[in-house]
């Protein structure tokens, strides 16, 4: 999967569907040639290098009026030697100079893929799955070695990239900017796609045409954030969900990031992804190393759905890991929206008993079970049961839940502390704060300094004690505020630029230690909902709480956008009470169920408050999910109709062998006497006959008809409904089963 043209010094990473080419320039720097649909591996491609004399430019060699980095497509550009665009790397020496000149030294090709110590990364289980190319570059002036790592996968159309820096000299170096990847594409005739929003409206799809200048999304919050996801996509203007060129760039990281597309004055496009350089600086002493987070690049000729399928397959099976990666997830119920802080053990047992009756498998106890925690002003950091609420502690409650035949889960917020807690009173210096400055609070809480091992140790010991002595199968790991006044008293002044990154390394370390101690523990990542829903967390937590907004209609957009990168297996999606807590909307329980069924399914309500009809619907939903959860988690997901573009949203899940599909169609607002509608499906076998079934519709059709002409919809607003079925109400969702019959 890697070919090297030794004479031309061209490197070609390829599989049957994609190619990635770069070469060694005469100067020793690496130049980019191509990324896209597979090219002949026997080809010679140096003619792709384009350079010409451009007026008012600077050139790297005296007497040469053609070779300027400003006009050459590069692989990992440095600033200061004729290239005036934003660089991938900036290193500062003791003399204050920030110039860096990397020159090619050698390469190595190995089977498989190496891990990145201390950082999440995609992996292989068999060395035949992938090939890795490492390029050693050197700045001889600084005695700095820079190793570029590229992994190409055989069956997945993705390339994983990362960079490692080694200080081989005696001078202390300061890394001010170290992106995980950069690529210069030959033209900028693309639209960019970002996933942006805010709390409770995360990962909305935003599309814009690229123009000269910079298009970027980023975070400076210490977490990947509700506001922007560490992801950027590019598509041609005629690309659709099912056809055309689409590129995706995803960062396997949970902290401050930058995803940037820069269009220069000659319509060349530079895409970069990595740690946000603002506020970042890493001191690299003699003999020390630094590794960037990993970036994953995907290309598809089959449109945005094709791009997403590659991310889903890679992240579902080679980023998520451990005991729960390939296992069906339990149907859970969480007590937060039912009780919030106000409960005692008897309430929880009644809550669990009704859940058991409905077939639910896991009861999750949310916030309020520990310390003096009756509101959000106290208790964080004291991870011991509140005996007034739970007289037998977490140990006793978990045993009683398991005696019902269910599993027990528990909420934690391990990175945070309230000042009104024994933990803070004993360790006031464990908080992130800048000396002499006031400390901002969020939700009446403060951030623990996870850049310090002793702080992580103190939290781990409390969590280990609980998990060792109680029957806890699942934890919901929350994080309800971002980092402010970022400073650590444990580090000197010239290392304060490292704290944001060291904080995230501490978060990863705590996850890793817990999983090593409790390998069957299921962790769901949560950050006030979707504030840290990223590929980095997926390495430790195979599912995440997509958003605190549990309203089904709002979730159409949130889950639709999330699916651009992340598989359904990692999307926590629950049925909540009505009126909805976040938006006050009343939505039919069938619609709430249909939307939540396309994810890791569960409930956020008190089942004891439902009537008999609603309980029967819940039982049917749970039964349906259990029957199809393997397909939902591990099937191919297709976006069919965007909630950002009209009154309808539709998506489809197809088994890998194409013998069944589930289609969800949701109409937001009712209408009268509307048109007949058909919905073209994806991923079916053209020559097989399928049976299409929903609540009011049943017919047979071949796969080619369902994909070309479309599946008939039972929308009763096409005319006037002549019954009292309720099919002409707002917020109506219909679930279709499409099953192969020959």
Whether residue 478 lies in the annotated active site: yes
548 is catalytic: yes
Q: Which of 184, 478, 636, 715 is catalytic?
A: 478
Domain-embedded: residue 639 = no
Do both 310 and 337 map to the same domain?
Answer: no
Average pLDDT value for residue range 379-408: 97
95 assigned to some structural domain:
yes
- CA nearest 233: which of 191, 172, 202, 184? 191
d(CA 693, CA 448): 53
Both 624 and 522 in one domain: the answer is yes
Whole-Å CA distances, 329 to 133, 323, 449: 36, 11, 33
Residues 583 and 700 in one domain: no
Secondary structure, 3-state, 206-268: EEEECCCEEEEEEECCCCCCCCECCEEEEECCCCCCCCECEEEEEEECCCCEEEEEEECCCCC
Instruction: Report helix, strand or coil for 147.
Output: strand
516 with 619, same domain: the answer is yes
Q: In this model, does residue 742 exceed pLDDT 80?
A: no
Task: Indicate whether 433 and 570 sit together in one domain.
Answer: yes
Q: Which residues make Cβ contacts (< 8 Å) with residue 725, sequence separation at least 6?
A: 696, 716
Nearest alpha carbon to residue 159 among 248, 236, 255: 248
618 shares its domain with 710: no
Structural domain total, the chain: 3
Burial 370-398 (b: 16+ CB within 10 A, else e): bbebeebbbbbbbbebbeebbeebbeebb
The neighbouring-strand residues paired with 228 are 196
Active-site residue identified among 548, 549, 551, 715 = 548
State the CATH number of the domain containing residue 565. Answer: 3.20.20.70
Query: Same domain, yes or no, for 697 and 588?
Result: no
Q: What's the predicted TM-score (pTM) here? A: 0.97
Q: What is the pLDDT of residues 594-638, one digit of tens each?
A: 999 999 999 999 999 999 999 999 999 999 999 999 999 999 999
Q: Which pLDDT score is estimated for 729?
A: 84
The answer to the question of residue 393 being in a domain is yes
pLDDT at 718 over 70: no
Q: Tens digits of per-residue pLDDT, 121-167?
A: 999 999 999 999 999 999 999 999 999 999 999 999 999 999 999 99
Average pLDDT, the chain: 96
Indicate the residue among 259, 286, 318 that finishes a domain. 318
DSSP for 337-383 reads: HHHTT---HHHHHHHHHHHHHTT--EEEE-SSSBTT-SSTTB-TT--
Mean pLDDT of 398-408: 98
Based on the domain organization, do 360 and 285 belong to the same domain?
no
Neighbours of 646 (CB within 10 A): 10
**Order of strands, sheet of 2-5, starting from the edge strand that comes earlier in the sequence:** 2-5, 10-14, 18-24, 30-37
pLDDT in tens, 317-352: 999 999 999 999 999 999 999 999 999 999 999 999
Domain encompassing residue 84 = 75-318
For residues 188 and 89, membership in a common domain is answered with: yes
Q: What are 442's two structure tokens?
A: 């969020």
Q: How confident is the model at residue 674 (pLDDT cuts 50, 70, 90)?
A: confident
400 and 278 co-located in one domain: no
512: number of Cβ within 10 Å: 14
Pairing of strands 231-235, 246-252: antiparallel
Do 173 and 302 belong together in one domain? yes
Give percent of the chain with pLDDT exceeding 70: 98
pLDDT score for 79: 86
């Amino acid at each position: 999967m890697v070919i090297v043209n030794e004479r031309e010094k061209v490197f070609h990473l390829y599989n049957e569907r994609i190619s990635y080419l770069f070469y060694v320039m005469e100067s020793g720097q690496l130049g980019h040639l191509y990324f896209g649909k597979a090219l002949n591996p026997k080809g010679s491609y140096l003619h792709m290098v384009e350079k010409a004399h451009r007026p008012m430019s600077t050139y790297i060699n005296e007497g040469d009026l053609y070779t300027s980095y400003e006009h050459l497509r590069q692989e990992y550009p440095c600033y200061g030697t004729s290239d005036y665009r934003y660089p991938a790397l900036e290193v500062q020496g003791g003399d204050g100079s920030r110039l860096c000149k990397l020159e090619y030294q050698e390469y190595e090709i190995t089977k498989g893929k190496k891990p990145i110590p201390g950082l999440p990364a995609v992996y292989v289980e068999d060395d035949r799955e992938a090939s890795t190319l490492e390029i050693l570059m050197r700045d001889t002036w600084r005695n700095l070695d820079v190793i570029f790592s590229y992994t190409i996968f055989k069956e997945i159309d993705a390339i994983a990239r990362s960079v490692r820096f080694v200080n081989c000299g005696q001078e202390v170096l300061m890394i001010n900017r170290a992106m995980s990847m950069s690529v210069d594409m030959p033209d900028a005739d693309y639209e960019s796609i970002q996933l942006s929003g805010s709390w409770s409206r995360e990962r909305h799809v935003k599309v814009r045409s690229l123009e000269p200048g910079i298009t970027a999304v980023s975070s400076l919050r210490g977490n990947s954030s509700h506001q922007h996801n560490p992801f950027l996509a590019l598509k041609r203007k005629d690309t659709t969900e099912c056809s055309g060129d689409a590129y995706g760039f995803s960062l396997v990281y949970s902290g401050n990031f930058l995803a940037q597309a820069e269009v220069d004055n000659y319509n060349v496009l530079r895409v970069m992804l990595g740690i946000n350089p603002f506020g970042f600086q890493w001191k690299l002493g003699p003999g020390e190393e630094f590794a960037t987070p990993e970036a994953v690049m995907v290309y598809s000729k089959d449109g945005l759905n094709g791009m997403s399928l590659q991310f889903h397959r890679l992240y579902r099976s080679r980023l998520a890991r451990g005991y729960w990666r390939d296992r069906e997830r339990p149907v859970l119920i969480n007590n937060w929206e039912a009780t919030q802080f106000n409960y005692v053990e008897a309430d929880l047992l009644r809550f669990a008993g009704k859940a058991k009756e409905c077939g639910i498998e896991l009861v999750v106890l949310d916030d309020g079970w520990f310390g003096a925690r009756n509101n959000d002003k106290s208790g964080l950091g004291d991870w011991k049961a509140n005996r007034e609420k739970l007289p037998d502690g977490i140990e006793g409650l978990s045993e009683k839940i398991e005696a019902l035949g269910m599993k027990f889960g528990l909420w934690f917020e391990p990175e945070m502390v309230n000042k009104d807690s024994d933990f803070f009173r004993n360790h006031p210096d464990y908080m992130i704060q800048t000396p002499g400055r006031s400390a901002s609070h969020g939700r009446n809480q403060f951030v623990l300094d996870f850049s310090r091992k002793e702080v992580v140790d103190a939290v781990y010991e409390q969590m280990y004690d609980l998990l060792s002595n109680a029957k806890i199968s699942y934890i919901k790991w929350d994080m309800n505020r971002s980092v402010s006044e970022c400073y650590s008293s444990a580090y000197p002044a010239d290392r304060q630029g490292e704290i944001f990154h060291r904080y995230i390394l501490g978060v990863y370390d705590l996850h890793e230690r817990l999983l090593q101690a409790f390998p069957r523990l299921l962790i769901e990542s949560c950050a006030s909902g979707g504030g840290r829903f990223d590929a980095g967390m997926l390495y430790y937590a195979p599912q995440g709480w997509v958003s605190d907004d549990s309203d089904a209609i709002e979730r159409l957009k949130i889950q639709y956008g999330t699916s651009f990168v992340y598989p359904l297996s990692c999307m926590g999606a629950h049925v909540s009470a009505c009126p909805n807590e976040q938006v006050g909307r009343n939505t039919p329980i069938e619609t709430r169920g249909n939307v939540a069924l396309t994810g890791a399914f569960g409930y956020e309500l008190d089942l004891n408050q439902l009537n008999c009809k609603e309980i029967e619907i819940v039982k049917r939903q749970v039964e349906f999910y259990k029957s199809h959860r393997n397909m939902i988690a591990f099937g191919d997901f297709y976006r069919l109709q965007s909630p950002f573009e009209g009154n309808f949203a539709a998506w489809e899940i197809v088994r890998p062998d194409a013998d069944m599909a589930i289609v969800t169609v949701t109409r937001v607002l009712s209408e009268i006497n509307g048109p007949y509608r058909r919905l073209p499906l994806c991923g079916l076998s053209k020559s097989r006959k399928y049976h299409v079934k929903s609540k009011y519709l049943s017919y047979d059709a071949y796969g080619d008809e369902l994909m070309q002409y479309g599946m008939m919809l039972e929308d009763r607003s096409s005319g006037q409904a002549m019954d009292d079925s309720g099919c002409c109400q707002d917020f109506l969702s219909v679930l279709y089963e499409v099953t192969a019959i020959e």
